[in-house]
Amino acid sequence: MSEYVHADARGASVGLVERREFVLEQGLEVACGLRLAPVSVAYETYGTLNRDGTNAILVLHALTGDSHAAGYYAGEDAKPGWWDIMIGPGKPLDTDRYFVICSNVLGGCMGSTGPASIDPQTGKPFGSDFPVLTIGDMVRVQRRLLDHLGVDRLLCAVGGSVGGMQVLEWSVRYPDRVFSAIPLATTTKHSAQAIAFNEVARQAIMADPQWNGGHYYEGARPGHGLAVARMIGHITYLSDESMRHKFDRRLQDRCDLSFNFEADFQVESYLRYQGNKFVERFDANSFLYLTKAADYFNLEKEWGNGSLVAAFARARARYLVTSFTSDWLYPTYQSKAMVQAMKKNGLDVSFCEIEAPWGHDAFLLPNERLDTLMGGFLERMERELEKERARKTTAAGANGHAL
């Protein structure tokens, strides 16, 4: 997820919000077999859970996002949460109707347990002793958070990019707990190209002498490596067209080439700026672990013995799948493959490839089409969930009668 977050005037803000913490004292055994305990999860909620517990929406953030999806923190915060355009009163994720939950992923560095957390065994930060995680591990922790919040079933799980992978994992791992799902700009498994970009980014971090095998918390941090990693990621979030539009070959603060290795071009200066800004807020080890989890994600291998159709045979959710025309990180063919597998399983699925020139990041930008799709889909899900509950009540009543 890029820094490309816009404030928005189309709906009201959820206002001041507060980051909370949930601690899973007994922790959990992660996919690689190691036990992690305790586990902390940073999360925020907006809106109110209704009495029947039927209006909860779980928002899953992208690679380097956090729990701060909407609203503002008191005093310190000039920018709203990363999806403030989508979450709030009158917005598609309408907080007057829905109870919206967003947590920072396991392995992250924005309040949840990750490589920078203290290892209770040693009293020092885990660093590279932190276990390698999977998207499934993240989802298992989120499930515990929902248990804690008293949410038995989600009206919807929604997220883009790596958040979309979590949406898919949720719907297949816990089919009875996900009434509907909106995976945006995502994939059921990384292409070789996506893994390649991640590997170059990881190598940039590990080549920084300050990385020190992952144990750098007591000294200088591998800022340069992390900045380069971010620059690589950032390129994949944009598109040829959006870069041409934003920068073309325009020069930065000069009228001619410098004939040295300063940032001559605006695009160079922009990437350096984004890279440096990222270093201030993100931990290099978390970047390594999260990109690896994304690379490992393989829904068909994990749940379908290699078959995506078999993997979705477990799912019960109604889906809204969305891709963007200029997304070259997770191109439309990947969304179409999941739609195809859903259809073969007789699942209720809607799909739209949205025309957008801004590349992978399009799901974070104001987009009327996306608003309409999500708003309309969620309203239908509310109606359908209500109908399902009415049917069950009637059936239970009829059974009671017979007895």
Partner 1 sequence: MRFDLQVIASWIEPGSRVLDLGCSQGVLLEKLTQEKQVRGTGIEQDEAKAGQAIGKGLSVIHGDIYEEVRDYPDLAFDYVVLSQTLQQVIDPSTLIREMLRVGRRCIVSFPNFSYWKHRVQFLLRGCAPVSRELPHEWHNTPNIRVIPIADFKRFCRDLGVPVLREVAIGNHHHEDRGKVVTFMPNLLASYGIFLLGRE
Instruction: Examine residue 19 and tell whether it contacts partner 1 (CB under 8 A).
Output: no
Confirm or reject binding of residue 313 to partner 1 (CB under 8 A).
Answer: no
Q: Is 391 annotated as a binding residue?
A: no
With CB under 8 A as the contact rule, the residue among 277, 383, 391, 392 that binds partner 1 is: 383
In the set 379, 391, 392, 393, which binds partner 1 (CB under 8 A)? Answer: 379
Size of the site for partner 1 (CB under 8 A): 25
Q: Which is nearer to partner 1, 56 or 341 (CB)?
A: 341
Q: Which amino acid is at 303?
A: W
Tell me the backbone φ, ψ of residue 322, rounded to 5 degrees.
-135, 135
Binding part of the chain for partner 1, among 26-34, 61-69, 342-350, 395-403 by CB under 8 A, reads 342-350
Nearer to partner 1, 145 or 155 (CB): 155
Residues 345-364, interacting with partner 1 (CB under 8 A): 346, 348-355
CB atoms within 10 A of CB 266: 17
Under the binding rule (CB under 8 A), the answer on residue 93 touching partner 1 is no
The length of the chain in residues reads: 403
In angstroms, what is the minimal distance from the CB of 383 to partner 1? 7
Question: In the complex with partner 1, which residue's Cβ is closer, 77 or 386?
Answer: 386
* Span near partner 1 by CB under 8 A; candidates 21-29, 46-54, 80-88, 341-349: 341-349
Quote the DSSP letter at residue 212: G
Q: What own/partner pairs with CB < 8 Å and gap ≥ 24 does 340-346 have?
A: 340/308, 341/308, 341/309, 341/311, 341/312, 342/312, 342/315, 344/309, 344/312, 345/309, 345/312, 345/313, 345/315
CB of 288 to partner 1, least distance (A): 37
Residue identified by tokens 């699925």 is 349
Shortest reach from residue 10's CB to partner 1, in Å: 15
Q: Which is nearer to partner 1, 161 or 332 (CB)?
A: 332
Beta carbons within 10 angstroms of residue 280's beta carbon = 7
Q: Which residue has the tokens 């900045």?
A: 227
Query: Closest CB to partner 1 among 264 and 327?
Result: 327
3-state secondary structure 151-200: CCCECEEEEECHHHHHHHHHHHHCHHHECEEEEECCCCECCHHHHHHHHH
H helices within 44-149, ranges in order?
Answer: 135-149
Whole-Å CA distances, 50 to 54, 150, 155, 198, 245: 7, 11, 12, 41, 45
Please tell me whether residue 269 binds partner 1 under the rule CB under 8 A. Answer: no
Q: How far, in Å, CA of 32 to CA of 198, rounded?
A: 20
Residues 6+ apart with CB under 8 A from 361: 1, 2, 4, 237, 238
230 is in an annotated binding site: yes
The minimum distance between CB 79 and partner 1, in angstroms, equals 29
Q: Using the rule CB under 8 A, is 394 a contact of partner 1?
A: no
Q: Give catalytic residues, as residue numbers.
A: 161, 327, 360
**Between residues 141 and 339, which has the closer beta carbon with respect to partner 1?**
339
Output the smallest distance, CB 364 to partner 1, in A: 19
CB 186 within 8 A of CB 160: yes
Contacts of 145 (CB under 8 A, 6+ apart): 22, 41, 43, 101, 103
Rounded Cα distance between 165 and 367, Å, is 21
User: Should residue 185 be labelled a site residue for partner 1 when binding is judged by CB under 8 A?
Assistant: no
For residue 347, the minimal CB distance to partner 1 (Å) is 10
Q: How far is the CB of 14 from partner 1 (least distance, A)?
A: 23
Q: With contacts defined by CB under 8 A, name the span among 63-71, 102-110, 260-268, 375-383 that binds partner 1.
A: 375-383
Q: Which residue's CB is nearer to partner 1, number 134 or number 326?
A: 326
Annotated binding site for substrate: 230, 361
Return residues touching partner 1 (CB under 8 A).
318, 320, 336, 339-340, 343-344, 346, 348-355, 369, 372-373, 375-377, 379-380, 383
